[in-house]
Amino acid sequence: MVEAVTIERPKRWDARFSEDMNGTEVERVLALEPFCHMDRDRFPQTLSLTGIIANDTRVVRYQDGDIVMREGDYGNSAFLVIAGQVRVLLPPGLPETMLGRAPSARKSLFQAVAQLWRNPDYPEVRTAFSAAQDGGTASRGDSAQQARIFLQDVNAVFDKYRTATLGPADMFGEIAALGRTQRTATVISDGPSELLEIRWQGLRDIRRRVDDFRIHVDRLYRERSLASHLRAMPMFHHLGPDAISRIVDETLFETYGDFDWHTRYRRHRDESFGRRLAEEPVIVAEGDYSDGLLLVRAGFARVSLAVNNGHRTIRYIGRGAVFGMAEIIQNWLGDKKNGGSGDGLEQGQPTTLRSTLRALGYVDILRVPTAMIEELVLPTLSEQELALYGQLDGDEVESLKGRDNGRRENTTIDPGMLEFLVEHRFINGTATMLMDLDRCVRCDECVLACARAHDNNPRFNRHGPRHDHYMVANACMHCVDPVCMIGCPTGAIHRASPGGQVMINDLTCIGCATCANSCPYDNIRMVEVRDGNGAFIRDTVTNAPIAKAAKCDLCLDQPGGPSCERACPRDALKRVDMRDMTDLSRWLSR
């Protein structure tokens, strides 16, 4: 019998953000704004402010022209300027070719074929080194030798593009770090600079315990999020700075539901539809006056109609969607036709909302007052644009950007299927594994292909919730809102860039099972790892097997993409991006 390997079980701060954060460096950071004014007694001994600075931050030094962060990357950390200054590239920002983007590393054809005979004979094989922590898990190298992308002619860039300057004590990157979203701007070092990088676990812990810091971060989130969000939307992008500024000043920020929506969903997912619907916060109700244009900043919302004594879901909307535009335009046009001033209230009864909007889990809403839309936006739109926007009724604005010359394709989906997808929150997926059981012959080629691509370890289970002859398999959906990333203490589960796939770094995973417990779809498994001889790798203290989180990685390193989808001989399996209802409708009705 092969003797088991024993190692010490990994802990929260075994994988420090930087080994360079010694006692002197930590004290220097603690003397800076805003840390010097924080009450250290508000932090428990097991999660002290000193410990957070020592383990969840690092000091990074940049040279002139170094790119600190890039627009479109997925953020896991925020930055605080210690010395020097940085420039934020304002929209439209730099072209992709100047940002130094490179494709994700993929196996060559030979390497992919070699998996057939090189894969280990035992399940979940790791080396003892990979099961232990190596100390440099959260960085691309130590702080002194980290490779960076820089702009060779940075002065020409600053002359050509609009920028904003940030100096000592200014913070940036917090929106992406806390919201698990893409970076909204590119930031470049303007001359030598010294920055404190705070990974999001530490940012979260400080924000929880220091009220002033939380208020400051929230204010930055609102100001920067709203401005960039408005400028990116087709109906606002042509407006001048003064108009945008007025809209920013008048817009209301609203949040509905619970940010940790997954815990409530797991508790109540087996309850009746009516009871679960009653618990969804109502944002606006059918029959209400449209007092503002609602912009979805994050999360998902259900659009439903009252039918007899219940409600029927007609669509769901997510980030980038608008709600209430059709009613605002109808009221404005009707008032103008009747000789009114355009406030929608002077002539007769105004048109009310035709449907109800509810928060699915949680949703961030920007409410632009109707008066602002009528005064600053509608008069600037052509008749064709008014007709087009008047048909939105909750559809994605992004779908109007020149696609099919503005003609919307038929995206009709069976109401029962739509309810199924919404009720199980499968709408969250960008790569939901949908299977047509009428076509599936149970050959298991999808499972075998997945196993071959992952060292003989399949990363999904061919079973799951069903509707009619369709099934959603237990496979990671690479969610728009990946709640599995919320509680990871080391940041092992993260977004890959530039594709945004949700990945797990085996080196930094400590086997705490937080991600597996958080996943509302049960798509992350904890596996006991072995060495090359097949023996379990055990903890030196408890002698219990070491576990690691494992899930679908969408075959990111495979030359042909998802192996499961390519292997199906009957076109019975599709990875569906639930943000593309047109593609889903085509596949369902093929």
- Convert the pLDDT of each residue in 94-121 to its tens digit: 776 676 554 556 677 667 766 766 777 7
| Percent of the chain predicted with pLDDT > 90 | 34
Residue 61 in this model has a pLDDT that exceeds 50: yes
Residue 535 in this model has a pLDDT that exceeds 60: yes
pLDDT in the model for residue 338? 65
For residue 482, is the peptide bond before it cis, meaning its omega torsion is within 30 degrees of 0?
A: no
Sign of the CA dihedral with 207 first, then 171, 20, and 489 last? positive
Task: Give CA separation, 521 vs 389, 422, 428, in Å.
Answer: 35, 13, 10
pLDDT, tens digit, for every residue of 221-245?
Answer: 667 777 777 888 888 988 988 998 8
Record the pTM. Answer: 0.71
Least confident residue range of 75-84, 155-164, 256-265: 256-265
Radius of gyration of the chain (CA): 26
pLDDT in the model for residue 148? 67
Going by their DSSP bridges, the two strands 252-257 and 171-172 should be labelled as unpaired
Cβ atoms 93, 71 nearer than 8 A = yes
**Mean pLDDT across 337-366:** 73
Residue 30 in this model has a pLDDT that exceeds 90: yes
Least confident residue range of 173-182, 297-306, 363-372, 439-448: 173-182
For residue 34, is the peptide bond before it cis, meaning its omega torsion is within 30 degrees of 0?
A: yes
DSSP for 364-429 reads EEEEEEHHHIIIIIGGGS-HHHHHHHTT-TT-BGGGGSSGGGGPPPP----HHHHHHHHHTTGGGB
**Mean pLDDT across 539-547:** 88
Domain boundaries, the chain: 235-400, 415-588
d(CA 173, CA 105): 26
Both tokens of 490, joined, read: 């080391």
**Mean pLDDT across 322-329:** 91
d(CA 419, CA 145): 52
d(CA 313, CA 130): 47
Cβ atoms 281, 256 nearer than 8 A = yes
pLDDT, tens digit, for every residue of 556-589?
Answer: 888 888 999 999 999 999 999 998 888 999 999 8
* Count of C-beta atoms within a 10 Å radius of residue 283: 21
Least confident residue range of 163-167, 198-202, 248-252, 488-492: 488-492
Highest mean pLDDT pick, 63-77, 111-125, 126-140:
63-77
**Mean pLDDT across 56-68:** 91
- pLDDT, the chain, mean: 82
**Helix, coil or strand: residue 460:** coil
d(CA 65, CA 94): 13
pLDDT in the model for residue 76? 75
**Mean pLDDT across 34-52:** 91
pLDDT in the model for residue 411? 58
Higher pLDDT, residue 229 or 210: 210
pLDDT in the model for residue 344? 45
- The CATH T-level fold of domain 235-400 is Jelly Rolls (2.60.120)
Give buried/exposed letters for 68-92 (b at 16+ CB in 10 A, else e): bbbbbbbbbbbbbbbebebbbbeee
Q: Match domain 415-588 to its CATH number in 3.60.110.10, 3.40.50.300, 3.30.70.20, 3.10.20.30.
A: 3.30.70.20
